[in-house]
Chain A
Amino acid sequence: MSESTVAVSFDVYRFQPGKDAAPRYQRYTLDLTPHTPVLTGLLRIRDEVDPSLGLRYSCRSAICGSCAMQINSKSRLACETQVGPEMARHGRIVVEPMRNQPVMRDLVVDQTPFWREYSKIEPHLKLDPRRPMPADRPTPMTPVEVERFKETPRCIACAACYSACPAAEADPAFPGPMALAKLYRFAVDPRDTAHQERLLRIQPNGLWLCLRCHLCTEACPKDVRPSERIRDLKEMAIAAQGATELGSKHAYGFKENLKGAGQINEMKLVRATFGLTGMVGQIGQGIRVWRKKPEIMKKPRKIEGMEELDQIYAALDPPPKEGP
């Protein structure tokens, strides 16, 4: 039994900087079966209706990473996104270029910022001449060590995560999910001899700007789960070097903070994060909020069963590291 087609309306972003005054959306309507990929629809538009549409594509099987774009505001691979569910949810398919990367033409973006962040984390094995690899055989690596990479080897550098990331959007100091997931990949590679150095470098260079909003993990077509690897990096960094940045001080401070009462002591946390002198900068806002919400200065109620929490900490939270 043949699948029947439905009318699919594409609203495609068209813009050529330097040539067009402003972006516009062009509508194309095609009859397609519901499981047809958006990419197939766009290629048919090129072949049958409008050969001037600019987009990147190659493998059509979710391995080359070329066709990442925004589809109804979600950063996705066009080859892997089907028209049926999009039409059912939105009544049309709005196709736009990826975010956080300047538009070159229509759906084609300049990926320079994305590749630059990738290069900055030094994505290659760093070897120590004093510890050379065995010349005539592969470096031994157990399945357990391979497990530690989690899914980071599946990354196809499509930039969907980078496009979806609100931190990358707001702050050029944030390396973006792909670069950080790639850093994780090297930080757990037993052949790399620079784990500590990598963690040391990334702490003041944007690691703690991750919002852990998980939009990257939603966008990723290969289940790399960058936000979860970034979390791992954060824990690894604190374990290796202690809390050296505001971000790590805050996380570490929060953890320590619960030891008091089992609930958060807001004042104490602000002090742990900023230090006594750093707190000065928070005074203005602090007073402003305190006027409406005086509880921010109060010590929290101590929970019942606090001894249980104390024991859990003793069992699972090793003593703090003595600085780098």
Chain B
Amino acid sequence: MKIAYYPGCLAQESAKELDMATRYVCRTLGIELVEFPNFSCCGSGFIDEANEALNIAINARNLAIAEKAGLDMLTICSTCQGMLNLAKVRMQDPKVRARVDGALKPLGIEYKGTVQVKHLLKVITEDIGLPAVKAKVRRPLHGMKVGAFYGCHLLRPADELQSESGEEPHSFEDLLAAVGATPVDYRGRVMCCGFPILFVKPSTANAIAGRQILDAKAHGADAMATPCPLCHTSLDAYQNKASKAVDSPLDMPVFHLPQVIALAFGATPQEIGLSRHLVRTDGAIAKVSASPTA
């Protein structure tokens, strides 16, 4: 399949490892990523707080770019996924549509609302399908217990995003099981990582992140995995702060979603940038049982 690749800001910069793993997984699954150097940042939810109309227009422009090329969009960030779909929903309101069109039409941008925006999680589990994924697994992750961490904007508001569920999704756990890992069920998996207030009230953001990690840990997770690089930043890069905030050692490796899949497909840590993580991941990888099935 061919799809417009919308990596988002972080995957192009400080979360480069996410981009590396995404490309590895897509190559393996035969997903052709078409790049667009004119995609802009999605606003990350922050622009939406400051100016809703602007936020929608910026994302309507992103959507129109893919529309013009006749392609659906692939996101690899829960927040980008949420923001792009939010724009689609808001653009159904005639008043909003008129206002945004007023800014886009003079630029020759015609938004039609036909493009589908799909997160990699959905593309893998629905368009590719788990049997096809299983067929590519070279190194089943048997023995690794992984707590999925979805990220709020992938799921909610469920009615607007038409997500699988606002509070009870299972596609990520199904995917983890398909690549041989043991998914861990814990309440925090659908909760917030604290990122939106990381620069507003760090102590609270860190406490929230710490709480979710502790929850995963208490339920036996060797590692967490997330489809959102903002969650990853909060849970991995700021894990030291989270640990302090909950006054407890955490030592929880956090993977990006495609890194877990890539590992199961046989990727080396170098190929997927694991050395860039702030919390070492080799401990979790060591949990995978020694004898892989071909």
A and B touch in the complex (CB under 8 A): yes
Q: Which residues does A use to contact B, with CB under 8 Å?
A: 73-74, 89, 166-167, 169-171, 173-174, 208-215, 217-218, 225, 227-228, 231-232, 234-235, 238, 245-248, 250-252, 254-255, 258, 262-264, 266, 270, 273-274, 285, 288-289, 292-293, 295-296, 298, 300-301, 303-305, 308-309, 311-313, 315-317
Evaluate contact between B200 and A213: CB separation under 8 angstroms: no
Chain B 183-214 against A: per-residue CB contact (8 Å), 1 yes, 0 no? 00001000110101101110010011001000
Interface of chain B: mostly helix, strand, loop or mixed: helix
- List of A residues within 8 angstroms of B12 by Cβ: 263, 300-301
Known A-B contacts A255-B47, A270-B199, A285-B241; the reply to A215 vs B191 at CB < 8 A is yes
Known: A211-B194, A235-B52. 7 other contacts (CB 8 A): A209-B197, A251-B50, A254-B44, A289-B237, A289-B278, A293-B15, A315-B106
- List of B residues within 8 angstroms of A215 by Cβ: 152, 156, 166-167, 191-192
Evaluate contact between B54 and A212: CB separation under 8 angstroms: no
| CA A166 to CA B190, docked complex, whole Å | 11
| CA A283 to CA B240, docked complex, whole Å | 15
Evaluate contact between B199 and A262: CB separation under 8 angstroms: no
| CA A234 to CA B48, docked complex, whole Å | 9
| CA A300 to CA B201, docked complex, whole Å | 26
- List of A residues within 8 angstroms of B107 by Cβ: 308, 311-312
| CA A313 to CA B100, docked complex, whole Å | 11
Q: Is B157 an interface residue (CB 8 A)?
A: yes
Known A-B contacts A208-B197, A313-B54; the reply to A258 vs B156 at CB < 8 A is no
Evaluate contact between A298 and B13: CB separation under 8 angstroms: yes
Chain B 127-161 against A: per-residue CB contact (8 Å), 1 yes, 0 no? 00000000000000000000000001000111000
Evaluate contact between B192 and A315: CB separation under 8 angstroms: no
Evaluate contact between B48 and A231: CB separation under 8 angstroms: yes
From B22-30, B34-42, B282-290, give the one contacting chain A: B34-42
| CA A72 to CA B6, docked complex, whole Å | 36
The 29 listed contacts between A and B (C-beta, < 8 Å) are: A73-B187, A166-B191, A170-B211, A209-B204, A211-B152, A211-B208, A214-B152, A214-B157, A215-B192, A218-B167, A231-B52, A238-B49, A250-B200, A254-B43, A254-B46, A255-B54, A258-B41, A258-B58, A262-B41, A264-B10, A292-B277, A295-B13, A298-B13, A303-B40, A308-B38, A308-B61, A312-B57, A312-B107, A316-B53
Known A-B contacts A254-B43, A301-B12; the reply to A312 vs B200 at CB < 8 A is no
| CA A266 to CA B10, docked complex, whole Å | 9
Q: Which of B13, B156, B196 contacts A218 (CB 8 A)?
A: B156
Evaluate contact between A166 and B192: CB separation under 8 angstroms: yes
A202 to chain B, nearest CB (A): 14
Known A-B contacts A166-B191, A214-B166; the reply to A296 vs B156 at CB < 8 A is no
| CA A89 to CA B164, docked complex, whole Å | 13
- List of B residues within 8 angstroms of A212 by Cβ: 45, 49, 152, 196
Evaluate contact between A309 and B191: CB separation under 8 angstroms: no
Evaluate contact between A250 and B103: CB separation under 8 angstroms: no
Q: Is B276 an interface residue (CB 8 A)?
A: yes
Evaluate contact between B187 and A309: CB separation under 8 angstroms: no
| CA A109 to CA B225, docked complex, whole Å | 35
Q: Which of A170, A293, A296, A303 contacts B37 (CB 8 A)?
A: A303
Evaluate contact between B49 and A312: CB separation under 8 angstroms: no
- List of B residues within 8 angstroms of A285 by Cβ: 238, 240-241
Evaluate contact between B103 and A167: CB separation under 8 angstroms: no
Q: Which of A89, A214, A255 contacts B50 (CB 8 A)?
A: A255
B98 to chain A, nearest CB (A): 12
- List of A residues within 8 angstroms of B52 by Cβ: 231-232, 235
Evaluate contact between B61 and A300: CB separation under 8 angstroms: no
Closest-by-CB residue of B relative to A282 is B199
**Residue among B50, B240, B276 facing the most chain A CB atoms (10 A cut-off):** B50
Closest-by-CB residue of B relative to A318 is B51
Known A-B contacts A213-B192, A255-B46; the reply to A266 vs B201 at CB < 8 A is no
Q: Which of B9, B152, B199 contacts A263 (CB 8 A)?
A: B9
Closest-by-CB residue of B relative to A258 is B41
Q: Which of B50, B167, B208 contacts A235 (CB 8 A)?
A: B50
Evaluate contact between A288 and B167: CB separation under 8 angstroms: no
Known A-B contacts A218-B156, A293-B276, A308-B109; the reply to A251 vs B41 at CB < 8 A is no
Q: Is B99 an interface residue (CB 8 A)?
A: yes
| CA A274 to CA B196, docked complex, whole Å | 15
Chain B 211-246 against A: per-residue CB contact (8 Å), 1 yes, 0 no? 100000000000000000000000001101100000
| CA A246 to CA B196, docked complex, whole Å | 12
- List of A residues within 8 angstroms of B102 by Cβ: 315
- List of A residues within 8 angstroms of B45 by Cβ: 212
Closest-by-CB residue of A relative to B100 is A316
| CA A289 to CA B276, docked complex, whole Å | 9
| CA A308 to CA B196, docked complex, whole Å | 28
| CA A40 to CA B102, docked complex, whole Å | 53
Q: Is B247 an interface residue (CB 8 A)?
A: no
- List of B residues within 8 angstroms of A315 by Cβ: 57, 102-103, 106
- List of A residues within 8 angstroms of B10 by Cβ: 264
| CA A208 to CA B211, docked complex, whole Å | 20
Evaluate contact between A209 and B167: CB separation under 8 angstroms: no
B133 to chain A, nearest CB (A): 24
